[in-house]
Chains A and B, each alone.
Chain A
Amino acid sequence: MLQILDRTQIERIHFSALEVLERTGVVIEQTDTLKSLGDVGVQVDLDRKLARFPPYVIQDYVRKAPPHFLQAGRIRKFDFVVRNGSVFARSLSGCSHVLDMETGQCREATKNDTADGARIIDALDNIHFCGGWIYPGDEHPSYRDVSLFKIFLENSEKHVCLQAYEGKNLEFMIEMAKAVQGGENELRRRPVLSVVLAPSSPLKLGKFMIDQLDLAGRYGVPTLFCSTPIGGATSPITLAGHLVTLHCENLAGIALSQILHPGTPVVYGPRPNTMDMRTGNAAWGSIEFGIMSAACVQLGHFCGLPVDTYSLGTDSKSLDEQAAVERSLNLVLPALAGANLLSGAGFIETIRTASFAQIVIDNEILGMVYRIMKGVNVEDETLGLELMDRIGPGGSFLAEKHTRTHILSEHFIPTIFDKNVRESWEQKGSKAATQVAKERAEEILRNHHPNELAKDIQRELDSIMTRAKQTLYKT
C-alpha cells in the first residue's frame, strides 16, 4: 500500500486540524444548528456564526459514523457495501457540457445527453454507480438537479450519487427515491441515492449544505463530504496546510452530521484542487491533487472513515496525452493508498465537459487499476513449481490447463487498448483508442437499455417532477 505520509505526519496533520477546529473554528450559517452544537459542548458565537469544536467533540462524534454501509441500486444486482478494504468507482458529478459524439465539438449538455450518459454508465462493468454526470442545460437552473436525478433513475439501475442545489431540491429527490425503492423504510434499508455536500472553503459550512445534511440524516441517505479548498487561494499553498484545511472541513461536516443524526452513513471526500498561479484558474488535474488525495486516504482511514477521491481528473480540453497522463497518475496514487471510492470517470476540462468516449476509456483504466490493487497472488498453485518441472527447460505453457484456468484471474484483458501487431491493427482500420472507445459508446447507446421503471412508479416520478418545477422555479 502506498504511504505518502508516515505515521508521524498523519498524526501531526490530524492533531493540527483538531487545533484549528478548536482555535480558529468553523462558520456555520444556520442559527438553530449552532445552538444544537452548543448543547454538545461546542463553543458557539452566534453573532459571528462561529463554532469552535473542542477535540473531544470531534473525536466522540466522528467515531459514531458507521464503518460500513450499503449503497443500493434500483435492483439488488447493483447494491454494494462500502467498507474497509472495498473499492468501487463512479462517474463525475457535475458536467455542464459534453463533447458532441458526431461533431466532436464542445457544447452545453441537454436532457438527451443526461439520459445517454446514464445508459452508458449502466453498461460499464468497472463503474459501479453513477455520479450526477451530466446536468441538463435545457432545464432551468432552479430544478436542473432534480431533473437530472429523475433522468438517471429512468435510464440506469445503478446507485446515484449527486449534489443537490438546496434542501428543497433534495426533498423532491428523496420523494423520487422513496417512490422507486418502495417507501421510506425501504429507502432507509436500501438507499438508491447518496448526496454530496461541499463546504465553502476555507472553514465555512453554508446554509445550503446544512439544510441538506440535516435532511439526508433524517432519511439515512449516505452523505459524501467534499472539502474543496483551492490550494494557494482558499487554503495554504503548502500541501501540509492544504491537507489540514481538507481534514478540518471534512471532520467538521462529519461530526455535525453525527451530532444531528448519529449513525448517518458518511464518506470522507477530499477534493484538493490547486490554483494554477499563471492563470488564476482552479486545476483538478495537477499532480498535487493526486498526492494529496493519497494522503487524505490515510487521514480518513486514520479516523476510521471510508474515503472517496476524485481520481481520473484532468484539465485538458481534449482526449489527448495530457488527459491520459493526468487522470492515470491521479487515479493510481489514491488507489494504491487504499481509497474506497474512486470518483470522477468521464470528464475532461476541469470537471466541466463530459465525454462518452472518455468514460469508456476510464472504464478500461479502472480495470487496470483494479488489477494493480489485486497485487500478486503467491501460493502453491500460482507458483506452479510442479508445472515448471514437468514442462522443463525450453517447453511451452500455452496448451496447459493451468494457463487456461488462471488467465482471467491473473491478467487484465483490455477491451479498448489494442495489442495486435501493426499489420493486423492496420487491417482493422488503424484505430486509435479514442476511436475504439467512441464506437463502443455508440454501440452501448444503440443496444443497451436498462429495465424500465414500472408504469405507476414512472407516473409518480413525473408527478413529483411537475410539482418540483412549480415549487422551485424562480425568476
Chain B
Amino acid sequence: MEKVYEAIIDCDADAVAQRVRQAIDGRVDPLTVLEKMNVAIRAVGDKFGKGDVFITDLVGSAEAMNAGVRIIEPLILENRGRIATLGRVAMATAEGDIHDIGKNIVITLLRAAGFEVTNLGVDVPTVRIVETVTKEKFQVVGVSALLTPTVAAQERLIKRLSEIGIRDRIKVMVGGAAVTREWSKRIGSDGYAPDGLTTVQLVKQLTGVAQKK
C-alpha cells in the first residue's frame, strides 16, 4: 500500500492503477485501498495549504488517484455507507457558462480535504441541479460562474429550491470570477468564496466540520 501512496505523491496515474490492481488481486480490502489513497491526497493537500507544493502537483496527484478510484469504485459502491467522508458536495458551472478550471481546482481541494464531491459539469441547467439535489442527499451545492449574465442562474437556483420547499435542506454556495460577495448576499446564498482554499474553509463551516474539530 505504501507504493500506492508513493505513486499518488509522484502524480503517476499508470503506477497508481497498476498498484491498485495488484492490491485488489492480493485480496486487500478495497476500502483499505481507498483510505490509503485518501491519506495520500490529504497529505498533498496539506502541503499545498502550507505552500510546499504547487497546485499542479495537487491536481496531478488527484488525477493519479482518480486512476485508482476508477478501478475500485465498482467494488465499493455497495459499501458506500461505510465510506467515511466529511460530507457530500455537488458542484456545477452555471447554466450558460462553459468555464470550469476554477471549479475543478475547488473540487480537487475539497476531495483532498476529505469531502465526497460530485461534479455535475458545465452549462448545467438549473432544473438539473434541482433534480440532483432533490433525489440525493448533499450537504452543499456550489455553483460557479465566470460570465456575468450566467450569475442569474445562481439566483434562479435559490428561488427554485425555496419554491419547492427544500431550501433549508441544503447549503448553497456561489463563486467564480463574475460573482461578488455582495451578489451572493443579495440572492440569499449561504456563502461565497473567492478562491479554492477559502472555498474549502467555507464548506467546512457550512457542514459544521470546522466546529467538530
Which chain A residues have a beta carbon within 8 Å of chain B's beta carbons? Answer: 29, 96-97, 108, 135, 137, 140-142, 144-145, 165-166, 169, 200, 204, 206, 208, 230, 232-234, 237, 275, 277-281, 474-475
Contact = CB atoms under 8 A, between A and B. Distances in A.
B119 interface: no
Given A108-B182, A145-B148, A278-B55, A204 B98 contact: yes
Contacts of A144: 148
Interface string B143-180: 00001110110011001000000000000000000101
Contacts of A280: 55, 102, 105, 109, 195-197
Contacts of A200: 98-99
Interface of B: 51, 54-56, 98-99, 101-102, 105, 109, 147-149, 151-152, 155-156, 159, 178, 180-183, 195-197
Given A96-B180, A204-B98, A142 B55 contact: no
Contact of A141 (B98, B99, B148, B195): B148
A233 B101 contact: yes
Contacts of A108: 180-183
The winner among B109, B149, B156 for most chain A CB atoms within 10 A is B149
A131 to B, nearest CB: 15
A165 B55 contact: no
Given A141-B148, A141-B183, A474-B149, 16 more contacts: A97-B180, A108-B183, A141-B149, A165-B147, A200-B98, A230-B101, A232-B56, A234-B101, A237-B56, A275-B55, A278-B55, A280-B55, A280-B102, A280-B105, A280-B197, A474-B156
Given A108-B182, A232-B56, A475-B159, A279 B149 contact: no
Given A200-B99, A280-B195, A475-B159, A137 B183 contact: yes
Contact of A166 (B101, B149, B151, B155): B149
B195 A206 contact: no
Contacts of B151: 141
22 contacts: A96-B180, A97-B180, A108-B180, A108-B183, A135-B148, A141-B152, A141-B183, A142-B149, A142-B152, A165-B148, A166-B149, A232-B56, A277-B55, A278-B51, A278-B55, A279-B55, A279-B195, A279-B197, A280-B102, A280-B195, A474-B152, A475-B159
Contacts of B148: 135, 141, 144-145, 165
Nearest to B101: A233
Contacts of B182: 108, 137
B156 A475 contact: yes
A29 B149 CA distance: 18
B178 A141 contact: yes
B195 A281 contact: yes
Contacts of B147: 165, 208
Contacts of A281: 195
Contacts of A237: 56
B56 A277 contact: yes
B92 to A, nearest CB: 17
A132 to B, nearest CB: 11
A117 B60 CA distance: 43
Nearest to B105: A280
A206 B149 CA distance: 14
Nearest to B108: A280
A144 B152 CA distance: 12
Please provide the 5 A-B residue pairs with the shortest distance between their CB atoms, ordered closest to farther.
Answer: A277-B54, A108-B182, A280-B55, A165-B149, A280-B105
A56 to B, nearest CB: 30
Nearest to B58: A280
Contacts of A204: 98
Contacts of B102: 280
B94 to A, nearest CB: 11
A141 B151 CA distance: 7
B112 to A, nearest CB: 12
Q: Which of B56, B109, B196 has the most CB of A within 10 A?
A: B56
Contacts of A135: 148
A475 B195 contact: no
Question: Which of A206, A232, A280 has the most B CB atoms < 10 Å from its CB?
Answer: A280
Contacts of A137: 180, 182-183
A325 to B, nearest CB: 22
B152 A475 contact: yes
A285 to B, nearest CB: 16
A475 B178 CA distance: 17
Nearest to A97: B180
A381 to B, nearest CB: 53
A28 to B, nearest CB: 13
A109 to B, nearest CB: 9
Contacts of B178: 141
A186 B74 CA distance: 66
